[in-house]
Structure 1
Amino acid sequence: MAPCPGRVGPGGAELLPGTALAILAGALLLAWPAFLNGYPLVFIDTVSYLAQTIVPEMPWDKAPAYGPFLHAFHWRMTLWGSLAAQVALLSWMLWLTQRGARGGVTPAAHLLLCAAMVALTSLPWFAATLMPDVLSGVAALAVFLLGCARPRLSRIEAVAVLLVGVFAVAAHLSHLIIAAAVVALVVVLERRVGSALRAAAAPALAILVLLGANLAGHGRAVLSPNGAIFLLARLQADGPAAATLRERCPDAGWYLCAFADRLPMDSDEFLWDPASPVSRDADGHPRFMGSVALVPEAQAIIAATLADRPFAVLRAMAGNALAQLALPQVGDTLPDTHLALSARRMVRDGFPPRELAAFDAGLQMRGLLPEVAAPFLRPHLPVLIAAVPLALLGLARGGREQRALVLAALVAIGANAAATGALSKPHHRYEARIIWLLPLAAMLALAPRRGRDPGLA
């Protein structure tokens, strides 16, 4: 492939007042669900990320990067600071993605794009939620920019995108699979060592971050010290691991042999139900941190299952990945389910009383957000359906970087489905968090190409 046009100088990019204002205005647009709610949106898992620095503790089931990011901007004063940083980062990445795909961007074009994404896609609902979910798409965009559009970034911008990419990938283990898939795409498209190395830099450095953090926090230099329990939950729910238990027990001597007749069960029930084999032994006694205690055995059962039933495992994973692709709706992130015992507790214990009052006054905590949000969610599915042929049209008519963006979006969405559906469990949230990449890529692939961004020095 020929080098792309729109090369910039080796130095930095001058942030013109119009550029800065457009990025900030785009951030405000992306945050609008939080204004609708009256407070930044949260999810049951938000408590674990806040606890990383407020308690502080190293949650057994969470990657280590997102909690410190939240703390860097809330300082136990208000979560609005964390939200402001998140949406500003996202708006800036959308600005650079427009330049990377089209060759240039103007403040008016940026605001138009942000308004379209806000009105028509799931993006703002995840941008306004204090969870690493929105970073799934950010990780893919960072790899795309570094691998396919580097000449359209200044040196300072490229370094900043690399740092954002490292953070986004390290924020959730599934993002490593997404980023690796887009790196593979860059290798195929670019066929240049430099492009491949630039694309691979973010996930490679994120791996080092994860290894170091888990060595410091858990005493083991591994990517996920307790990830085996989640894969076991999925494999027993799908059937292969349950069949392995029935076949090999009681001779294998595994703890779960006592529960072979109760398996398979739903993976969420297996992991989180107080009465599950993970949480309560065969005599009914509670097991403190039962998930962590079961990890060595989970690794052994997974290895045996893969050896005994490799094709059954592959079939189940493929089916779950396809099921995940069909679940793109926002809804399951909006209710107040379990928030009183999770996020509210951390806001109560870690922030001033006025913050708790604001949290409690929000539509989400009062159980009203799903109903209020429903009219704004209706365009999402029709837009997604329309985005498919438009993205394919962009592949046929767009420029080199525009086509690469469409392919990167498709690859990232597929990798996300494989990482979440096949290795965890299909949920609407997992697909909705990244599906916005498709309409974004379709719009930018069909937009006119431009010359160099006037904001570049």
Structure 2
Amino acid sequence: MAEPPDRLARALASLAVFATAALLCLAAILNEQPFLYPDTPVYVRRAEVGASKVLGADRIKPWMGEASAASESGAAAAAAPAETDRNVSLAGRSVYYGALLYGAHAAGSLWLAVVAQALCVAAMLHLVIVRLWGFRRRHLLAVGAGLALLTPLAAFTGLLMPDLFAGVTVLCSGVLAAYWNRLRRWERVGVAALLLFAIAAHPSHLALAAAMLLFMLGCKLLRLGLRTPWPALVLVTGCVVGGVAAEWVFNKAMTAASGAPPVLLPHATGHLIGMGPGTEFLRQNCPQAGYVVCDYVANFPTHWDDFLFSDDPTKGAFWLADAQAKRRMAQEQIAFVLDVVRFDPLGVARGLGADVLEQLASFRVDVGRQPPGAVEKFYLGRVPDDVLADLRGSQGVRGGDFDGWLSGATYAAVAGSLVLLAWRRRSSALPRPPGFDQFALVVGAGVLANALICAVFAAPLDRFQSRVIWLVPFLAAAVLLQLRSARYSVFSSSTIFASPGKSPR
């Protein structure tokens, strides 16, 4: 049978991508609204401020209308965890990701941001499954449905936070590392552009991309099963450098706007205090150590989340401090970490090792359900009235247990996937897509690096690992497709995978 014309092939590819994207919107559709997080309004507001500086406040659509602004209460404003003090702007809330959310709002609906996120992931899945692995478009839809129903991918696609792009960072890096020679020029440009945006979406993604770059470079130099072409390494390096430059530009702009640089949350300080060694160091060395956290030593140990955001005078620290003390905590963080490591190196090493293992196993889905009182505490007066009304009517607020059943499905899917991948590793006779071993190596390294970065520089949290754990079942899906092809002999081993220049029917 002759290949369809290029125009028809492109139309079919686009249809498959849109259909897969629709599957990835399923979680938000079931929730009846995109998933919100307390930080979501901050991302939008930062982009709105930037747009007003560039275009003029009278030429942009305001995030908060007059009615919404009038509903703001002092208690709600004080409770917002991402805007800790009117005199302090926080680093880490990317204006670049905020531009996606604000652009969707300005265009008419935050649903457009969910659609954009879904299309980004669907396009990458099509590139890998159809173009590079050579499976059919119906297989793409099957994998998309499985990932949407059995992993957190759809939940993070529907979440108005940059977490989705951590997995995209890993996926794009794996494609460039393993398939550089099979990618067309425009595909290289497209994957690199998406990787750059993903890196700029959050500082943790920058650290993740840098760690993966070091891994790829180390494997190439040591000949450890991955020989990424130098042009691919140069391009990934350029994306990492671009991410650093984007963060630098953002910090400069925030400094110019507010008169002071943004404050980096002292995650590491809170982590060491909650872990124990930091608390013991402070108890033995305060007040002579001179750290501002000495003022709150009576509250320690406390969970890192309480250290940063609690307004309870018996638990908090950073949240309770004034603007000057907040800046001092951030500035003293590196010195504090070094002092604690010197004070109890074994305790810190044991704690961090345990936290990394805990993070690897912690990927419960917890983005769909809003806890009691969350609407008034985190969103009243910070989101438009129509968004607030939709939030009140969403399944996440009305008590739907979306997170519960999806968490169970995720743990079952990941456990089964690990067994399947281990078995496939031992089966030399099993057909495999070109470059699959190298791709799986990079993706696996990315999943591990994500756990390491989050557990060490912040603290174990289910959301941190669940944002990338869907990549494990994605790799297992390739094995299942291989098994199906081999079992039913649909294709011969020489024609299972399409060549780079042809599109499967």
TM-score (norm 2): 0.78
The more displaced of 130-139 and 308-317 is: 308-317
Map of 2:32 onto structure 1: 38
SS in 1 for 2:395: coil
- Verify: 1:252 aligned to 2:289, yes or no: yes
Q: One-letter code of the match for 1:340?
A: E
* RMSD, aligned α-carbons: 2.8
Select the residue among 338, 342, 348 that pairs with 2:378. Answer: 342
Using the TM superposition, give the Cα deviation of residue 405 of structure 1 relative to its aligned residue in structure 2, in angstroms. Answer: 2.5
- Which structure: larger Rg? 2
Conserved 8 A contact 1:101-1:444:
no
Partner of 1:196: 233
Matched-pair identity in %: 24
Structure 2, unaligned stretches of length 5 or more?
Answer: 1-5, 51-82, 84-88, 220-225, 483-495
User: Which residue pairs with 2:459 in the alignment?
Assistant: 425
Tell me how far apart the structure 1 counterparts of residues 246 and 420 of structure 2 sit (CA, whole Å).
38
Contact 1:101 1:405 in 2 (8 A): no
Question: Structure 2 counterpart of 1:87, which letter?
Answer: A
For 1:52, the equivalent position in structure 2 comes to: 46
Contact 1:123 1:433 in 2 (8 A): yes
Q: 1:83 aligns with which of 108, 114, 129?
A: 114
Structure 2 residue 210 is the aligned partner of structure 1 residue 180 = yes
Match status 1:154 vs 2:195: no
Find the residue that maps to 1:294 and give its secondary structure. helix
- SS of the residue 1:347 aligns to: coil
Aligned to 1:292: 327
- Kept in 2, the 8 Å contact 1:183–1:199? The answer is yes
Unaligned 5+ segments in structure 1 are 1-11, 282-286
User: Is residue 309 from structure 1 mapped to residue 344 from structure 2 by the alignment?
Assistant: yes
Runs of 4+ in 1 over 6 A off after TM superposition: 12-15
Distance apart, 1:169 and its partner CA? 1.3
Alignment map for 1:25-424 (pairs within 5 Å):
25-54=19-48, 59-75=90-106, 77-99=108-130, 102=133, 104-187=134-217, 188=219, 189-190=226-227, 192-218=229-255, 226-227=263-264, 229-274=266-311, 275=313, 276-280=316-320, 287-288=322-323, 290-331=325-366, 333-336=368-371, 338-343=374-379, 345-348=381-384, 353-364=385-396, 366-369=397-400, 371-372=401-402, 374-396=404-426, 397=430, 398-424=432-458
**Local SS of the residue matching 1:303:** helix
1:379 aligns to what SS in structure 2? helix
Work out the CA distance in 2 between the residues paired with 1:295 and 1:228: 6
Paired position in structure 2 for 1:6: none
The number of residue pairs the alignment matches comes to 430
| Matches of 2:122 and 2:376, distance apart in 1 | 31
On the 8 A contact 1:60/1:292 being kept in 2, the answer is no
| CA 1:137–1:394: 2 relative to 1, 3 Å | farther
Instruction: Point out the more displaced range, 67-76 or 411-420.
Output: 67-76
8 Å CA contact 1:30, 1:87 repeated in 2: yes
Q: Residues of 2 paired with 1:200 and 1:442: CA distance? A: 29
What residue is the counterpart of 1:7 in the other structure?
A: none
Give distance in 2, aligned partners of 1:327 and 1:168.
Answer: 23
Contact 1:45 1:343 in 2 (8 A): no
Q: Over residues 53-91 of structure 1, what are the superposed CA-to-partner deviations in whole Å (9 max), with x where a residue is unaligned?
A: 235696444233211122233316310111111111111
The code of the aligned residue for 1:357 comes to A
TM-score between the two structures when normalised by the length of structure 1: 0.85
Deviations 1:323-373 (A, max 9, x none): 11111111354224524333453332xxxx544433332222x3323x255
**Partner Cα distance (2:104, 2:266) in 1:** 33
CA distance in 2, matches of 1:202, 1:334: 35
The 8 Å contact of residues 25 and 157 in structure 2, kept in 1 or not, is answered as yes
Seen in structure 2, the aligned counterparts of structure 1 residues 289 and 75 have a Cα distance that, compared at 3 Å, is farther
Structure 1: distance between partners of 2:464 and 2:7:
35
C-alpha separation between the residues in 1 aligned to 2:339 and 2:129?
48
Query: Which amino acid in 1 is paired with 2:37?
Result: F
1:21-72 CA distance string (max 9 Å, x none): 1100101000011111111111222122122223569644423321112223
Shift of 1:376: 4.8
CA separation of 1:148/1:354 partners in 2, compared to 1, >3 Å: closer, same or farther?
Answer: same
CA distance in 2, matches of 1:372, 1:262: 35
2-structure distance, mates of 1:345, 1:63: 22
Distance 1:107 1:290, change over 3 A: farther
Deviation at 1:111, TM superposition (A): 0.9
Matched, 1:451 2:498: yes
- Matched-pair contact (CA < 8 Å) for 1:394–1:446: no
The equivalent residue for 1:9 is: none
In 1, the alpha carbon distance for the partners of 2:24 and 2:464 equals: 19
SS of aligned partner of 1:83: helix
Q: What secondary structure is seen at the aligned counterpart in 1 of 2:95? A: coil
Give the 3 Å change call, closer, same or farther, for CA 354–304 of structure 1 in structure 2: closer
**Partner of residue 53, structure 2:** none
Q: Which amino acid aligns with 2:303?
A: D
* Contact 1:394/1:402 (8 A) holds in 2: no
**How far apart, CA to CA, are the structure 2 residues paired with 1:60 and 1:173?**
9
How much has 1:214 moved relative to structure 2?
A: 1.4
Contact kept? 1:325, 1:417, Cα under 8 Å: yes
Distance 1:173 1:14 in 2: 41
Q: Distance in 2 between matches of 1:147 and 1:159?
A: 14
Q: Contact conserved, 2:34 with 2:160, CA < 8 A, in 1?
A: yes
Matched, 1:438 2:472: yes
Matched residue of 2:15: which SS?
A: helix
Q: How far did residue 270 of structure 1 move? A: 0.8
Measured after TM superposition, the shift of residue 303 of structure 1 is 2.9
Q: Distance in 1 between matches of 2:265 and 2:381?
A: 29
1:321 Cα deviation from its structure 2 partner: 1.0
Inter-partner Cα distance in structure 2 for 1:375 and 1:107: 28
Cα distance in 1, alignment partners of residues 388 and 451 from structure 2: 36
- SS of the counterpart of 1:180? helix
**C-alpha distance in 1, partners of 2:14/2:276?**
53
Is the deviation greater in 267-276 or in 399-408? 399-408
